Chains A and B, each alone.
Chain A
Amino acid sequence: MSYEPVIGLEVHVQMSTDSKIFCTCSNKFGSEPNTNVCPVCLGMPGVLPVLNEKVVEYTVKAGLALNCQIRKKSVFARKNYFYPDLPKAYQISQYELPICEHGYIDIELEDGTQKRIGITRIHIEEDAGKLNHEAGCSLVDLNRTGTPLMEIVSEPDLRSAEEAKAYLMKLKTILEYIEVSDCNMEEGSMRCDANVSIRPDSNAPFGTRAEIKNVNSFRNVERAIKYEQKRQEKVLNEGGKIVQETRLFNADTGITASMRGKEDAHDYRYFPDPDLVPIVLEDKFIDDLKEWMPELPDAKRARFMSEYGLSGMDADFLVSAKAYGQYFEQAVKAHNNPKAVCNWIMGELMRRLNDKQCTIFEAGISPENLAEIVKLIDEGKISGNIAKQVFDETAETGKNPSEIVAEKGLVQNSNEDELEAIVKQVLDANPAETERFKGGEVKLQGFFMGQIMKASKGKANPAVVAPLLKKLTS
């Protein structure tokens, strides 16, 4: 029997504010253990939290970008539990009155259609510390304690592991656009728990769900959900029952294992935090952030398609990171050939980014450089092959593409007389192939073009060579 999975995601995103949520400690990742701490985030007796207003700003930005309703008055609550990485024995979070609710994002499915995924709520909370397990002991690092988090909870609208991954990627892109988080799953600045259940068909009521924790990459989200889906199917097909539980994903083995059952679930004893006053937002605050909001991926995609005549696939690529779109538009401004610029970004530039593990603006090729290369091709000054050489030289030396072309004599040869001599020379050197070509073996065209290119050291303009070849062999 086959089943349909029903998936909802709870995503924790660390906000990239300068300081922590309730104290003035640095919010930097990767410092020496227990150096970004103070009496407040250490939870010493006698201290009090003071809300970092940037945290509210960032969360409202996210709420607006994710089409949420913004609650004018929201409240912090304490979530009580004991754990060595939680100094106060409670986490300050939001429970009954979260700051953002009822949003959505649209994701693109593989068949090219769009699907709307509901967002139940976004709330603000503080991160806990970290336990580093070493041989025989666990060491507590409280640098992360008090890092501002937003928890983004989706509706159970996702119906496959692929959809879940697409949702996450889209979420990451949007949050990067509004610059509230770097959303680095490997560094833990974006973490995901998945609620997974299955049901016989799309009209059946939801099945009992398992919550999968500890999923820390986009690939693993897909793997964990697929595994869990199969596991649940197996249980049902064997006549068993799914139990409500929390399961832990193991990235090494690719399986999920039960962590605790429903009966062991914590009673967090939430109640409003009496040390903090409600967050009360004024209309102007929200309006100013709406005003500030940059063009988001969906709008940018539509514009790239209509304004630059790009395909959906090309536009998808360019909006997948904010910097790509910026780079693209800057290059097109310098030389108006959007399709070619886009191809160069997707091809050569991405190859270089992968090799160098750098960002697009650090690759050594400015948008103006790239535009110049495309322009040189368009003007017939260099061939595509030469252009790749010029691209690499530009990146390595920092010189202008035209400079390199001039210096190295790489200008494309379009001189008919000179090229005719080369073509003749190639035909003479290959009498057998020439006869066969004349006899109608058209596939030899490529062979001759290659030989001509070689003889011209890559500088022959193919557009001039092709008619010459035809003329001399007819």
Chain B
Amino acid sequence: MLGKTLKELSEALNKKEFSSAELTQFYLDRIRKYDDDICAFNYINENVINQAKAVDEKRAKGDTLPVYAGIPMALKDLIIQKDMPATCSSKILEGFVPPFQGTAAQLLEDAGFLCLGKLSMDEFAMGSSNETAYRKKTRNPWDTSRVPGGSSGGSAASVAAGLTTFALGSDTGGSIRQPASLCGITGLKPTYGRVSRFGLIAFASSLDQIGPMTSNISDNAAILSVIGKYDKKDSTSLNVAQEDYTKYLTGDVKGMKIGVPKEYFAEGIASDVRECVNNAIKAYEGMGCEIVEISMPHTEYAVATYYIIATAEASSNLGRYDGIRFGFRAEADNLKEMFYESRSQGFGDEVKRRIMLGTYVLSAGYYDAYYIKAQKVRTLIKQDFVNAFEKVDAIICPTSPTTAFKAGEKMSDPLQMYLSDINTISLNLYGGCGLSMPCGFGADGMPVGVQLLGKYFDEGRLYNLAYAFEQQAKLPVMPEKLK
């Protein structure tokens, strides 16, 4: 059952090659076998097997079923699935079970998918290694002494280890693409406004976006076709028609113009990563694409800009965790102390660091110098993309400066950690779409990812390009030992 695309799984279920219960049990068994080492799951839905059996019964009766009926998947633990815990890998949300359904989870349910459980992540999506998680610090399936990346580390690792067919993650500054790159899978950050944020626990509202994390391009396109839908419940959702993105998987990319921004190949990019990405560029050239060198001069300000805007929004978004209505509450003698203690004990260091930073940049006297200035620079960074897309159809660059690093290596140095996202952050500030896919292996044998960036609502073009490369490169997508 491993290695089949969602389309193939759907056909196999329809032909009754195996049942949904068998498929679901297969994944539950794998989770039981491997997740002690990988630590991807915050929560396993024990009821999923009964849901699978119910689908099998309907299928046996000849009921009309949605196309992906009875296929199990998993969700990052900040995506709301009704009646399942949603902790954001934070102590402060322990015990919180949302009584309402999120839009992405609902669309997946409507398409027939079953939810295996919830996946670990950096606490409140703040981190690039999954090490800020309160409980499950996920490890990289290719080498469990290494991190899976973050913040969607649990999602990336669970897909790479074959513990689920696919997973949803979320990307605020690279949180889908960077772990996808480090775990050797495909992750897409859709255009801001493509996927509803209703049911996505907010980190930074103007940057957050849910996206699919899959073991191949076809699955990725299939899932975005399901969840990429306008939603009235999200005022920032854009009323753009839903698309079947699988129609772009033609293999024909001839004449496409691909930009190579020199700023994305700066000093910090490891030589083995550089080499793999250059090979991918050559492959595109070989497929008839035109490679154009471009410049995006404001890239160097992206990390600073991002950490002002994202933390400002986060400091406000995370105010609601006060111990009163849900999650963790510290014992205290009075209200003020209860606020202080619940938040002091409930949040981890990285989250506190960002709340303080965000509070500072919004404070009277500093607002103009930081927040307003950052918004102005954001406009300049957007303009870089707009200018680039006047010349080229897509941009290509490394996703992460390095392959997966060792656990603990960067935890003591937040700035080093922030630089892991140096090539992914600008896109969130612009709001366009970006995809990371495997393009080879580094000197350490760890996967290397290449990133394709596109303009607003141009996901179809990214899938077109990615699919052509995937078909040609034929890279292994799962560590041999886990097969």
Residues in chain A within 8 A of chain B (CB atoms)? 38-39, 42-51, 78, 80, 82, 84, 87-90, 140, 267, 269-271, 274-277
B93 CB contacts on chain A under 8 angstroms: 45
B205 touches A46 (CB 8 A): no
B367 touches A45 (CB 8 A): no
Do A275 and B235 contact each other (CB < 8 Å), given the known contacts A46-B202, A87-B320?
yes
For the complex formed, measure the closest distance between the CB of A76 and the CB atoms of chain B, giving whole angstroms.
10
CB contact between A271 and one of B86, B198, B236, B362 (< 8 Å): that residue: B362
B324 adjacent to chain A (CB < 8 Å): yes
B206 CB contacts on chain A under 8 angstroms: 274
Q: List 7 A-B contacts (CB under 8 A).
A: A45-B80, A45-B320, A46-B199, A50-B232, A80-B362, A89-B320, A271-B312
Beyond contacts A45-B93, A277-B236: 10 other A-B pairs, Cβ-Cβ < 8 A, are A39-B98, A45-B80, A84-B335, A89-B316, A89-B322, A267-B363, A269-B315, A269-B363, A269-B367, A274-B206
A48 touches B198 (CB 8 A): yes
A39 touches B235 (CB 8 A): no
B234 adjacent to chain A (CB < 8 Å): yes
A45 touches B319 (CB 8 A): no
CB contact between A78 and one of B80, B316, B326, B363 (< 8 Å): that residue: B316
Contact indicator per residue, chain B 357-369, by CB within 8 Å of chain A (1) or not (0): 0010011100100
A274 touches B205 (CB 8 A): yes
B418 adjacent to chain A (CB < 8 Å): no
B98 touches A274 (CB 8 A): no
A274 CB contacts on chain B under 8 angstroms: 204-206, 236, 313
B100 CB contacts on chain A under 8 angstroms: 38-39, 44, 46-47
A80 CB contacts on chain B under 8 angstroms: 315-316, 319, 362
Closest 6 CB pairs of A and B: A89-B319, A274-B206, A269-B362, A274-B205, A45-B201, A46-B80
B98 touches A44 (CB 8 A): yes
A46 touches B371 (CB 8 A): no
| A42–B320 CA distance with the chains assembled, in angstroms | 10
Of chain A, the residue at the smallest CB distance from B100 is A39
| A78–B235 CA distance with the chains assembled, in angstroms | 16
B268 adjacent to chain A (CB < 8 Å): no
A87 CB contacts on chain B under 8 angstroms: 320, 324-325
A275 CB contacts on chain B under 8 angstroms: 202, 205, 235-236
The count of chain B contact residues (Cβ–Cβ below 8 Å) is 43
For the complex formed, measure the closest distance between the CB of B332 and the CB atoms of chain A, giving whole angstroms.
13
B339 adjacent to chain A (CB < 8 Å): yes
A50 touches B200 (CB 8 A): no
B405 adjacent to chain A (CB < 8 Å): no
| A89–B342 CA distance with the chains assembled, in angstroms | 14
Q: Which of B95-123 contact A (CB under 8 A)?
A: 96, 98-100, 102
B197 touches A48 (CB 8 A): yes
| A270–B371 CA distance with the chains assembled, in angstroms | 11
For the complex formed, measure the closest distance between the CB of B79 and the CB atoms of chain A, giving whole angstroms.
8
B391 adjacent to chain A (CB < 8 Å): no
Do A276 and B235 contact each other (CB < 8 Å), given the known contacts A46-B80, A46-B199?
yes
| A84–B232 CA distance with the chains assembled, in angstroms | 29
Of chain A, the residue at the smallest CB distance from B79 is A46
| A144–B233 CA distance with the chains assembled, in angstroms | 21
A276 CB contacts on chain B under 8 angstroms: 235-236
| A270–B366 CA distance with the chains assembled, in angstroms | 12
| A155–B231 CA distance with the chains assembled, in angstroms | 42
| A442–B65 CA distance with the chains assembled, in angstroms | 104
A48 touches B80 (CB 8 A): no
B102 touches A46 (CB 8 A): yes
A89 CB contacts on chain B under 8 angstroms: 316, 319-320, 322
A51 touches B98 (CB 8 A): no
B197 CB contacts on chain A under 8 angstroms: 48
Contact indicator per residue, chain B 166-207, by CB within 8 Å of chain A (1) or not (0): 000000000000000000000000000000011111101110
B205 CB contacts on chain A under 8 angstroms: 274-275
Do A88 and B235 contact each other (CB < 8 Å), given the known contacts A46-B80, A269-B359, A274-B206?
no
B232 CB contacts on chain A under 8 angstroms: 50
B321 CB contacts on chain A under 8 angstroms: 45
